Structure 1
Amino acid sequence: MPKLLPVLGLALLALASGPSGAHAQSADLVLCDRIAADPSDPDKPSDIKGVTEIAPADIPTAIRFCKQAAGAARRALFELGRAYAANKQMAEAIAAWRRAADKGSTSAMVELGVLYATGAGMTKDEAQARKLFERAAEAGNPRGVSNLAALGGSGTSSADPARARDLLAKAAETNPEAQYQLGLMLAEGKGGPQDDVAARAMFEKAAGQNHPGALERMGAFAEQGRGGAKDRDLAKSYYQRAADLGDQDAKKALKRLECPFVLKDKRGNLVSNLCF
């Protein structure tokens, strides 16, 4: 396993840093975090960036070490669920997320809520999705707040987009995911007036903490001149940083910037991009 050695080195360094560090987290948990942590997970250690998608080559390693660490930390259970989902083992992913949610993982609650809301991998149940999003939102998870607002309809006051803005604004003081989610609401005019300047400020704040989605949005805002100056070079820089972190929309945007002209057939379907 070519990727295992450098990651294992990091784990051994973490354990060698001192007795308290060794007791705090095992090598299995360090490895699990390094290759399977979600950037938006509130349980994620601050020194771990996380990955938007687990690299295909890392999936077997993630399953192995996250499974071994699952008894030590609820975030390892959540990350094990991510690894199973990446491997298209949805029954195992759901089981891991249920266990993590039972232990208080708000990220696992959100993932289960999304599955219930969409009917992916389980029977569609909007009421159950709402309960899970509410639990996550009440615990301060930004995705729980935004997903609850998106679900809309009847329910607690948290389902009100205006209320969601208030909750996100509080969390956005320190949390990059909340900054990103609040930026989206401001940009789209959900829960209050549209405000591109404020949205750009939120995206910029989250981008400063290497949030992939916020970096991509900053690229789009700079490219379009929304909420501030129009700057193609700056847009490209933001897109590149987001793409380096695995953001697929940013990768597409980079190609569009580099190859702005397209050839289409008679039906209007894309045939090829022209690069100059």
Structure 2
Amino acid sequence: MMKRCNCGQAAGIGWKWLVLEAVICCAAPTVLPAAVSPSAAGRQDGVIVDPAVSSPGARLQQTSELFKKDASPERVEQLLKANELFNRGVCYFVGRDGERDLPAAIAAFKAAADLGSVFARYNLGVIYSEGLDVPVDYAAARHYYELAADSNFADAQYNLGVMCGQGLGGEPDFTAAAGYYQAAAEQGHLRACHNLGVLYYYGRGVPQSYEKAREYYQIAAENGDPRAQYKLGQLFRYGKGGPADDTAAFHWYMQSARQNEVCAQVALGQMCCSDVFGKPDYEQARQWYELAAKQGCGEGWYGLGVIYLNGLGVEVDMPQARRCFEQAALLDEPVAQYNLGVMNLTGDGGDVDRKRGVDLLKLAAESGCAAAQYALGCYYYNLTEGEPDYEQAFRYYRQAAEQGHANAQYHLGLLFFDGHGVGQDTGKALELFEAAAGQSLTQAQFTLGVIYAKGMCVAPDRDRALGYFNAALGPDRGREAFEHCLQSPREAAR
């Protein structure tokens, strides 16, 4: 975690307790993409208008599937009629013989679907799920997709999987979704492989398995799916489903980022800022963050803000950092809202604006940013205009402490110890001090040393006291502080 620790001070106010965060949270895998994927090749608005282009090999497969069930002359004639009606529907849909006529197209597709046209059934599923000249009707869409899926049409199986997973036309059913994705994936449907990987990643409808998630992401990634490439990179980066491998992670991030997958661009920025390959490459990091920022990615803007804030490969530029955080905050990036809030309180990179600073911290805190919650606790604890607001301080310290924020645990302990904003509870205070000390917070270790040396609300325990002093200051200075504490008058632990 990179941090810029020595923040500037607003006139008359000490903000040394505020730390500008330089952390970028890793984006979690998305659960499911959209159900219909329009393609320039053989499709229009997601509707198949040229099966030979949109689904190469599928037309022959569907005909073969139908003939396996019934190859009688009557059936052959019926399928030829269905194909004629399907083509007529396509003409109406694209307007080849004049203006587009969607009602006529739907009527023709329905007639073809009744005679067994798999592509007509699929198209009707698209029309009803997308509301193309008809009200959106997910039940009807499911009906037609199911008819097409029964003929083993992978696109229909995939879209049914999405509808089941999202609860479109019924209750969410991840087990059914997994079944449809599996059927489509077995035919090489890359989006189905991707989504099956997502279900295994989260354990939705299937047993949770990072190994299976990695397997299905790999299939899609090797065939060029940028989302799967990014998520496969994540699994390699964090050692899920197999050993961690930064080289493999970088490779898959790069493949994905080159296809403009914004999460991969951010991930590359993070890796370039780290020392995983020896020396950080801040110039490359900045370039990847810039590409992500140009796509409207809050994390990209945030990463740029961190670079200018800390002078990573560039001169420290507080105004530019503030501008980058401003853009990220507008995109609801909580840690950027926190940093921008701090900068408004301190005046770093621009004017002091306490009201806006507090408002930004509250936005970040509401999104669960522990640093912002801690900062607000400190703000209300250290108010210089009027009396401190211990109740508000308690509220925000507790929120951050519950997330394991060591400084918040320590300061919440102080409130319990003194009975400020809450009834005095020295037992709870000790519990919080020890939690913070367990995270190597020097203040908490030193305070516990004083408490046990002097027997403040506990029986004196010199061995334990010396241990805490040594942890805080090292053996030599720790013993010196311990001996000084024993000789000094009894005083509050701070």
Q: Does TM-score exceed 0.5, indicating one fold? A: yes
Q: Which residue of 1 aligns with 2:243?
A: 123
Correspondent of 1:133 among 231, 253, 262:
253
Cα gap change, 1:76/1:117 in structure 2, threshold over 3 Å: closer, same or farther?
Answer: closer
Cα gap change, 1:195/1:26 in structure 2, threshold over 3 Å: closer, same or farther?
Answer: farther
Cα gap change, 1:126/1:183 in structure 2, threshold over 3 Å: closer, same or farther?
Answer: same
1:217 aligns with 2:339: yes
1:181 aligns with 2:300: no
Q: Work out whether residues 80 and 93 of structure 1, in 8 Å CA contact, stay in contact via their aligned partners in 2.
A: yes
How many residue pairs end up in the alignment?
230
Could you list the per-position Cα deviations for residues 210-260 of structure 1 after superposition, in whole angstroms to 9, with x for gaps in the alignment? 223322322232233322223333222112222333434333433343445
Could you list the per-position Cα deviations for residues 120-168 of structure 1 after superposition, in whole angstroms to 9, with x for gaps in the alignment? 553132321221232233333332331331345669xxx7321331333
Could you list the per-position Cα deviations for residues 13-69 of structure 1 after superposition, in whole angstroms to 9, with x for gaps in the alignment? xx777238778x9697489689xxxxxxxxxxxxxxxxxxxxxxxxxx696697578
* Whole-Å separation in 1 of the counterparts to 2:179 and 2:374: 37
Unaligned runs of 5+ in 2: 1-34, 36-127, 142-157, 383-392, 398-406, 423-494
Q: Which residue of 1 aligns with 2:379?
A: 257
Structure 1 residues 37-56: aligned runs within 5 Å: none
Question: Residue type of the partner of 1:239?
Answer: L
Q: Work out whether residues 270 and 285 of structure 2, in 8 Å CA contact, stay in contact via their aligned partners in 1.
A: no
* Whole-Å separation in 1 of the counterparts to 2:324 and 2:173: 32
Give 3-state SS (helix, strand or coil) of 1:19's partner. coil
Give 3-state SS (helix, strand or coil) of 2:306's partner. helix
Structure 1 residues 221-236: aligned runs within 5 Å: 221-236=343-358
Q: Which residue of 1 aligns with 2:328?
A: 206
Question: Residue type of the partner of 2:364?
Answer: A
Question: Residue type of the partner of 1:83?
Answer: Y
Question: Residue type of the partner of 2:258?
Answer: E
The Cα of 1:195 is off from its aligned counterpart by 1.6
Q: Which residue of 2 aligns with 1:192?
A: 314
Could you list the per-position Cα deviations for residues 183-217 of structure 1 after superposition, in whole angstroms to 9, with x for gaps in the alignment? 22222222322222111111111211222332232
Higher Rg of the two aligned structures: 2
* Whole-Å separation in 1 of the counterparts to 2:246 and 2:369: 29
Identical-pair percentage? 22
Q: Which residue of 2 aligns with 1:143?
A: 266
Cα gap change, 1:182/1:254 in structure 2, threshold over 3 Å: closer, same or farther?
Answer: same
* Whole-Å separation in 2 of the counterparts to 1:130 and 1:113: 7
Give 3-state SS (helix, strand or coil) of 1:185's partner. helix
Calculate the aligned-residue CA RMSD, in Å: 4.5
Cα gap change, 1:119/1:79 in structure 2, threshold over 3 Å: closer, same or farther?
Answer: closer
Cα gap change, 1:33/1:100 in structure 2, threshold over 3 Å: closer, same or farther?
Answer: farther
Cα gap change, 1:204/1:17 in structure 2, threshold over 3 Å: closer, same or farther?
Answer: same
Structure 1 residues 79-158: aligned runs within 5 Å: 80=199, 83-84=202-203, 90-95=210-215, 97-98=217-218, 101-102=221-222, 104=224, 106=226, 108-119=228-239, 122-140=242-260, 141=262, 142-152=265-275
Q: Work out whether residues 338 and 372 of structure 2, in 8 Å CA contact, stay in contact via their aligned partners in 1.
A: yes
Q: Work out whether residues 28 and 65 of structure 1, in 8 Å CA contact, stay in contact via their aligned partners in 2.
A: yes
TM-score (norm 2): 0.37
Q: Which residue of 2 aligns with 1:19?
A: 132
Question: Residue type of the partner of 1:217?
Answer: N
Correspondent of 1:164 among 270, 285, 298:
285
Cα gap change, 1:123/1:167 in structure 2, threshold over 3 Å: closer, same or farther?
Answer: closer
* Whole-Å separation in 1 of the counterparts to 2:308 and 2:175: 41
| More divergent stretch after superposition (160-169 vs 249-258) | 249-258
* Whole-Å separation in 2 of the counterparts to 1:255 and 1:241: 14
Question: Residue type of the partner of 1:168?
Answer: Y
* Whole-Å separation in 1 of the counterparts to 2:318 and 2:286: 15
Question: Residue type of the partner of 1:247?
Answer: C
Higher relative contact order (CA 8 A, sep 6+): 1
Question: Residue type of the partner of 1:131?
Answer: H
